[in-house]
């Protein structure tokens, strides 16, 4: 298919070397730093956190691409003021995030961290106690959010012999509708589903609706042997409620990649606890410093380039562009 017209594409803080080979010469790429606004003729701006000055710098701007999954709250609120500019994002790291979610789940369910820590000191005692490991075969995995990450988690759970059940916020998900072997349910059914969940994976975007979605009433619905994994955003699960549930033993374990407190600058990267509560003192919690979308850097950038090229080529051809964000819903 031929391309309709040249496109001027501006990328903030990124690189073009991988993208250049994947798009035609009619897609003109330019990079800028954080202090520079896009050129006046920019058609597409690739940036996660633009300012109003960035958006208004070009009268040609018709598309903002957020170069990762999720939409920062500040970006969502800003772009609601510019309804003529479409917002899209990328899911290039969905596989990596799902893989880490499953790794955290297995480590927490099988108590790998405490066992490793003890054996490094020559202590085999955990082998001869009731370790409380969760047997996975035949158990029910409840997946909150059934997008690119949630679907991969469901496939992995089926591979472990588990029964995946998903809660999806989209209205077109009818009760119990099967998709790839996963039964799909709506948010109003969440409380009912929690009571029979052996594992709970949080993989839904953070929005006004999902902030604090899992609090004390919801966590109290889970069985005491349940394992919770959060690969999405920390505030979806109430911070105090989660700590109390784990410290008090009302749920068995957790694998957490997303948090409530982050380093604000580079000097704090080696001295910042991820919460005001001492999750780090709980041996049944596996802690990960928000690495869900991270993997080998060249591979990551090549994957990002491939996904960006799909969007740019669709725009240049006048085709429907994937991954449109519903700014009202927040994802």
In the 3-class helix/strand/coil scheme, how is 269-316 assigned residue by residue? Answer: CCCCCCCCCCHHHCCCEEECCCCCCCCCHHHHHHHHHHHHHHHHHHHH
In this prediction, residue 300 carries a pLDDT of 83
pLDDT above 70: residue 148: yes
In this prediction, residue 315 carries a pLDDT of 94
d(CA 62, CA 84): 7
CATH of 7-92+297-317, one of 3.40.50.10490, 3.90.1150.10, 3.20.20.30, 3.40.50.720: 3.40.50.720
d(CA 165, CA 109): 18
In this prediction, residue 204 carries a pLDDT of 95
Q: Which residue has the tokens 């979308």?
A: 293
Mean pLDDT estimate for the chain = 92
Pairing of strands 44-46, 7-12: parallel
pLDDT range class, residue 4, cuts 50, 70, 90: low
Q: Bigger pLDDT: 217 or 169?
A: 217
CATH of 94-287, one of 3.30.1330.10, 3.40.50.720, 3.20.20.110, 1.10.3720.10: 3.40.50.720
Please name the helix (run of DSSP H) or strand (run of DSSP E) that holds residue 106, with its range, or none: helix 94-109
Residue range 40-65: mean pLDDT, rounded:
96
Q: What is the CA radius of gyration of the chain?
A: 22
pLDDT range class, residue 287, cuts 50, 70, 90: very high
pLDDT above 70: residue 171: no
pLDDT range class, residue 13, cuts 50, 70, 90: confident
Buried b (16+ CB within 10 A) or exposed e, 173-212: beeeeeeeebebbebeebeebbeebbbbbbbbbbbeebee
Q: Bigger pLDDT: 178 or 68?
A: 68
d(CA 172, CA 258): 29
In this prediction, residue 2 carries a pLDDT of 45
- Domains of the chain: which residue ranges? 7-92+297-317, 94-287
The angle, 0 to 180 degrees and rounded to 10, between the axes of the packed helices 148-159 and 94-109 is 40
d(CA 160, CA 99): 13
pLDDT above 50: residue 108: yes
Q: 4-18, 82-96, 185-199, 271-285 — which is least confidently predicted?
A: 4-18
pLDDT range class, residue 179, cuts 50, 70, 90: confident
CB count, 10 Å around CB of 132?
13
Q: What is the pLDDT of residues 223-263, one digit of tens each?
A: 999 999 999 999 999 999 999 999 999 999 999 999 999 99
d(CA 294, CA 195): 33
The strand ranges marked E within the chain are 7-12, 27-32, 44-46, 63-66, 86-89, 140-144, 163-167, 177-179, 182-185, 199-202, 227-230, 253-256, 285-287
């Amino acid at each position: 298919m031929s391309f309709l017209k040249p496109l001027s594409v501006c990328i903030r803080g990124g690189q073009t070397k991988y993208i250049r080979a994947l798009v035609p010469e009619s897609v003109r790429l330019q990079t800028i730093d954080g202090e520079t606004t896009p050129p006046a003729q920019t058609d597409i701006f690739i940036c996660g956190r633009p300012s109003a000055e960035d958006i208004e710098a070009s009268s040609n701007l018709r598309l903002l691409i957020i170069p990762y999954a999720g939409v920062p709250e500040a970006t969502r609120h800003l772009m609601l003021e510019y309804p003529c500019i479409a917002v899209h994002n990328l899911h290039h790291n969905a596989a990596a995030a799902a893989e880490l979610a499953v790794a955290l789940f297995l480590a927490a369910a099988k108590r790998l961290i405490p066992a490793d820590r003890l054996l490094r000191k020559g202590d085999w005692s955990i082998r001869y106690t009731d370790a409380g490991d969760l047997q996975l075969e035949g158990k029910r995995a409840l997946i909150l959010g059934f997008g690119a990450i949630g679907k991969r988690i469901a496939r992995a759970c089926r591979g472990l012999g588990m029964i995946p059940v998903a809660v999806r916020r989209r209205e077109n998900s009818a009760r119990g509708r099967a998709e790839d072997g996963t039964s799909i349910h709506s948010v109003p059914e969440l409380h009912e589903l929690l009571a029979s969940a052996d594992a709970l994976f949080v993989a839904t975007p953070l929005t006004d609706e999902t902030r604090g979605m899992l609090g004390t009433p919801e966590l109290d619905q889970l069985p005491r042997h349940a394992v919770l994994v959060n690969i999405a955003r920390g505030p979806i699960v109430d911070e105090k409620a989660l700590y109390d549930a784990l410290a008090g033993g009302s749920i068995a374990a957790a694998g957490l990649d997303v948090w409530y407190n982050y380093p604000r600058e580079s000097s704090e990267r080696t001295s910042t606890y991820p919460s005001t509560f001492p999750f780090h003192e709980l041996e049944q919690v596996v802690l990960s410093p928000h690495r869900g979308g991270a993997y080998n850097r060249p591979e990551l950038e090549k994957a990002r380039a491939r996904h960006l090229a799909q969007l740019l080529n669709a725009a240049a051809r006048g085709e429907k562009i994937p991954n449109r964000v519903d700014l009202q819903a927040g994802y």
